[in-house]
Amino acid sequence: MIGKDSNVMKAWEFTVRKTHAAAKKRANSIFGTISLANVEVEEDENNRDNDNDDDDEEGGSKSFELYQADKVLANGDYYTGEWADNLPHGVGKYLWTDGCMYVGEWYKGKTKGIGRFSWPSGATYEGEFKSGFMDGNGTYTGCNGDTYKGQWVMNLKHGHGLKSCVNGDWYEGEWRRDLKEGQGRYEWKDESYYVGEWKNGSVWGKGSFVWANGNSFEGYWEEGVPKGNGSFKWPDGSYYEGNWNKDAKDYNGTFYPSESSEEGHFDWDPQELYNELSEYVVCPGEKVSVLPSQKRLAVWRSTKGGDSGKNRRTSVDGRVSSEGAERTPDRTSLCDEGNVSAGPRTSTVGCDLDEELMALQVDNLDDIVAQLQPLKAPKKSKRQGETICKGHKNYELMLNLQLGIRHSVGRPAPAASLDLKPSAFDPKEKVWTRFPPEGSKYTPPHPSCDFRWKDYCPVVFRTLRKLFNVDSADYMLSICGNDALRELSSPGKSGSFFYLTDDDRYMIKTMKKAEVKVLIKMLPAYYNHFRAHENTLLTKYYGLHCVKLTGTAQKKVRFIIMGNLFRSEYTIHRRFDLKGSSLGRMTDKPEAEISETTILKDLDLNFIFRLQKSWFQDFCRQVDRDCELLEQEGIMDYSLLVGIHFKDISQDGDIIPSGGSRTPCGDSENEGTPQLTRKDTDQLLLDPARWASIVLGVNMPARVERTVRRNDIELQLVGEPIGEFYEVVLFFGIIDILQDYDISKKLEHAYKSIQYDPTSISAVDPRQYSRRFRDFIFRIFTEDS
């Protein structure tokens, strides 16, 4: 035993020495020269709390060395200035090969603080930066000579600012998302001016226009022209007051002459006002082709020797497969270098023990990160679903569904108030309609079989559609138009079938009777919740119906119509269904077969989602409110469905990290260098229409940080962040909210608890489920600092 323990201790000592040697070698390759003591401190701190890596404040203590650098990077970019941890940090100048240049303050590879960014066109911005964006107070001078001095938020003029145009015009006032909005004054070069309200970059609201000759108009405006009540005044005191409309042939107004003036102005035509205003055009804004936040940095990263260049198959979250992996030189050389014992037999035992220790040793996070491959965009997938055309087994069911929807939505009904009576939610509130093939007094003839149609709580769902701003004609056109529905390839885990409308706007799901009862029971609380919280993340339901075939079959098909969360002009590259449980929560597909439509699960998740402060606060509040409702209604087993659109993807399919992040190891010649042109990542921010479409959970610009899981931690639910960020657009919502904790779920919980950890299974009571769900969600969604 003494000899064996001695061998174990010596093998352990070799492991420790190897770890320190690897750390020293890695540190020297990054910093040049540094003491081993500093490396050990840094590694100890990182191992204690990886989540605190980003909490260092500027000016605080740093575990890395700051020094002057003068670097020509791999892609031809040039940097001179202060450098730390393989990134610009401090004060420095970065010159890109396309001619863009930034001079100023840096923080961990991002422009942050005071700086000056210049474009090859001659345009410049001088002022404050945050996280790579023009953000704070700053002055932008365009290549045409126009200047803006004022407040910025994420590359957009936002707040109070003064814009001076090269033609002599100027505007001072409020801006919102790069457009004039709020109170402001615009003065033209001839000294005519407008003072009043603006909206979406044009004169809109109440305001006054004063010409250089003394004439003036005061009243209401819309899209840059008078519309509504207003009065036009002459310098002599006479004025015309009335209702204005550019397209009106006859004006409804009154002329009031001045008592002190002999001029009449009786022949003046109100239409002349619009002709005069047509000469006064607001100076258009300059479109910036490339923004500072879009510029990527070509950073260096050391590669490990040995198998760093070998191709290894990785799982979705980046964990390296051990299949076929060769033993590293470090591991094989331990037996040769270690003087474990003089005898051959003891030496063999020492090697065996050494191998056991290496297998049991906690994986070094840096070693895992070094083996990561760049993220790849999933393979393109065909349009989801099979079109239900004539001859399809569910063709008649689709016809029945479309006939019933057209009848339900098109049926005349009095305008419903949002304040519904309790009787509208009564489970007995159902409307049956028979659809014979030859037609009837209320239904048209049709080519399908004889069937009966049932509407559940029709007044409630009609009012919900009104609450969701759904136009009845558009709703019918989507579901009942000439285009057929599409059936998804396979039923869900619950056995339900899903159908999509041709425009992808709505999803139709078949339901069990128990689910219908759950929805009807929770409908009053569901309705009131949507009235109280317009940003709720819960699934939107538009109608609940049933088709009953007559004759011998007597088959009933119940279905719900709901919104499709992922209907967007953006391609959804990753889809995750997240519950906060681990048992069975991993996709069974190999990585090569994962496409854009594959639904990944909790243990596949390899990102942390970072939202801007205000959105993150709204998100946390809304998740709490939604989960409280579901808990009160006895609901469990729901999920957060998340879709990710990556903004920067190369032509080769590599997902490109944002500037300042670590670059995955690869070919050392091209390491960290984007080789291909990317799409404009800030198109969303520059387009006001897209900005207006952003609501909580839809079209949300954000960042995701890549994570990895240690191989030694079984079923680690949330991976560890590695500082590699990606610019994304997020879509998310809470789905599957119709499962209550009934007897079947209680039995499932009892059965699985015997075999598995009870906290890892999905079937738990609603209160525990809500707590676990929220705890998980608030770990993977964080505020973007």
* pLDDT tens sequence across 110-150: 888 999 998 888 889 999 998 888 889 999 988 888 899 99
Give which of 153, 151, 154 is closest to 162, Cα–Cα.
151
pLDDT at position 674 is 32
73-87, 354-368, 614-628: lowest mean pLDDT where?
Answer: 354-368
Residue 189 pLDDT class (50, 70, 90 cuts): confident
pLDDT at position 325 is 34
pLDDT at position 504 is 87
**Mean pLDDT for the stretch of residues 208-230:** 85
pLDDT at position 364 is 58
Q: What are the tens digits of pLDDT across the range 413-431? A: 776 678 888 888 988 888 8
Is residue 139 a contact partner of residue 149, using CB atoms and an 8 Å limit?
Answer: yes
Quote the tokens at residue 380: 């393109």
User: pLDDT higher for 629 or 588?
Assistant: 629
Q: Is 498 left (phi over 0), alpha (psi -120 to 50) or beta?
A: beta
Query: Is the confidence at residue 536, as pLDDT, over 90?
Result: yes
Burial of 439 (0-12, 13-18, 19+ CB in 10 A): exposed
Give which of 357, 375, 362, 368 is closest to 320, Cα–Cα.
368
Q: What are the tens digits of pLDDT across the range 662-671? A: 333 333 333 3
pLDDT at position 668 is 34
Between CA 192 and CA 210 the distance in angstroms is: 6
The interaxial angle of helices 613-632 and 513-532, nearest 10 deg, is: 140
Describe the chain by its helix, strand, coil percentages, rounded to 5: 30, 30, 45
User: pLDDT higher for 757 or 658?
Assistant: 658
Query: Is the confidence at residue 758, as pLDDT, over 70?
Result: no
**Mean pLDDT for the stretch of residues 686-714:** 75
508-512, 657-661, 737-741: lowest mean pLDDT where?
Answer: 657-661
Q: Encode 676-720 in three state secondary structure.
A: CCCCCCCHHHHCHHHHHCCECCECEEEEEEEEECCCCCCCCCCCE
Q: Is 617 helix (H, G, I), strand (E, B) or coil?
A: helix
Between CA 510 and CA 526 the distance in angstroms is: 20
Q: What is the share, in percent, of the chain residues with pLDDT greater than 70?
A: 71
- ∠ CA 424-425-428, nearest 5°, is 90
**Mean pLDDT for the stretch of residues 357-379:** 62
pLDDT at position 598 is 86
Give which of 116, 126, 73, 131 is closest to 97, Cα–Cα.
73
pLDDT at position 765 is 80
Residue 526 pLDDT class (50, 70, 90 cuts): very high
Query: Is the confidence at residue 478, as pLDDT, over 60?
Result: yes
The length of the chain, given as a count of residues? 785
- ∠ CA 331-336-339, nearest 5°, is 115
**Mean pLDDT for the stretch of residues 707-732:** 80
- ∠ CA 509-510-512, nearest 5°, is 130
Is residue 138 a contact partner of residue 102, using CB atoms and an 8 Å limit?
Answer: no
User: pLDDT higher for 295 or 723?
Assistant: 723
pLDDT at position 781 is 93
Is residue 326 a contact partner of residue 307, using CB atoms and an 8 Å limit?
Answer: yes
CATH topology classification for 568-658+690-784: 3.30.810
pLDDT at position 388 is 82
- ∠ CA 690-625-704, nearest 5°, is 45
Residue showing tokens 């365009």:
142
CATH 3.30.1200.10 fits 67-258, yes or no: no
Q: Is 7 helix (H, G, I), strand (E, B) or coil?
A: helix
Is residue 767 a contact partner of residue 733, using CB atoms and an 8 Å limit?
Answer: no
What are the DSSP E strand ranges found in 188-309?
A: 193-199, 202-210, 216-222, 225-233, 239-244, 252-256
For 372-564, which CATH class?
Answer: alpha beta
**Mean pLDDT for the stretch of residues 705-732:** 81
Quote the tokens at residue 340: 């474990």
Give which of 384, 382, 396 is closest to 488, Cα–Cα.
384
Residue 370 pLDDT class (50, 70, 90 cuts): low
Between CA 8 and CA 13 the distance in angstroms is: 9
Residue 755 pLDDT class (50, 70, 90 cuts): low
Query: Is the confidence at residue 559, as pLDDT, over 60?
Result: yes
Residue 743 pLDDT class (50, 70, 90 cuts): low
Q: Which helix (H) or strand (E) holds 499?
A: strand 498-500
Query: Is the confidence at residue 53, as pLDDT, over 90?
Result: no
Give which of 223, 598, 531, 153 is closest to 384, Cα–Cα.
598
Quote the tokens at residue 772: 């676990």
**Mean pLDDT for the stretch of residues 9-20:** 52
Is residue 358 a contact partner of residue 292, using CB atoms and an 8 Å limit?
Answer: no
Q: What does the domain layout of the chain look like in residue ranges? A: 67-258, 372-564, 568-658+690-784
Query: Is the confidence at residue 347, as pLDDT, over 50?
Result: no
Between CA 141 and CA 745 the distance in angstroms is: 64
275-284, 564-573, 775-784: lowest mean pLDDT where?
Answer: 275-284
> What is the residue-averaged pLDDT of the chain?
75
State the pTM of this model.
0.53
pLDDT at position 266 is 65
**Mean pLDDT for the stretch of residues 292-313:** 50
Q: What is the share, in percent, of the chain residues with pLDDT greater than 90?
A: 19
205-209, 643-647, 685-689: lowest mean pLDDT where?
Answer: 685-689
Report in angstroms the alpha-carbon separations of 107 from 429, 450, 605, 611, 742.
62, 71, 28, 20, 54
- ∠ CA 706-642-719, nearest 5°, is 30
Query: Is the confidence at residue 184, as pLDDT, over 80?
Result: yes
pLDDT at position 115 is 93
Residue 58 pLDDT class (50, 70, 90 cuts): very low
**Mean pLDDT for the stretch of residues 44-72:** 52
pLDDT at position 348 is 37
